[in-house]
Amino acid sequence: MELYLASVVMLLTIAAAVYTQAQLAKHISNSAQRWVVRTSLIAIGIGFAWVSNSTYQPSGALQFIVCITAFCITHVPSACILYLKRKRAAQR
């Protein structure tokens, strides 16, 4: 059950990360700024994944799931902000 629930959470966070990366091009026109934002999100994600694996120390498939989830969960706040910006622009 733990593995199933962790897999569902991982898939949701992967969706948020993909959405964030796809929407960045629509909201940031300058490629240099987009590169900085993407690099920052990736660096923070890698750091959070490392800390999560060091702290939680799962084994087997759960280790992979925790690593991917921790990396992608750093994209969730950005995904929420970009979604709200898109909805606000659609109302205008």
Helix (H, G, I), strand (E, B) or coil at 3: helix
Output the pLDDT for position 25.
Answer: 86
- The total number of structural domains in the chain stands at 1
Q: Which domain does 41 fall in, by range?
A: 29-92
Tell me whether residue 20 is in a domain. no
58 in any annotated domain: yes
Single pTM value for the model: 0.86
Please report whether residue 36 resides in a domain.
yes
90 alpha carbon, distance to own chain's centre: 24
In the predicted structure, residue 29 carries a pLDDT above the cut 90: no
Percent of the chain with pLDDT over 70: 100
Residue 73, pLDDT > 90, answer yes
In a domain, 14, yes or no: no
More confident position, 18 or 56: 18
Tell me if 9 is assigned to some domain: no
| 24 falls within a domain | no
Asked, for residue 71, whether it belongs to a domain, the answer is yes
Residue 9 has pLDDT above 90, yes or no: yes
Q: Has residue 4 been placed in a domain?
A: no
pLDDT of 27 over the 90 cut: no
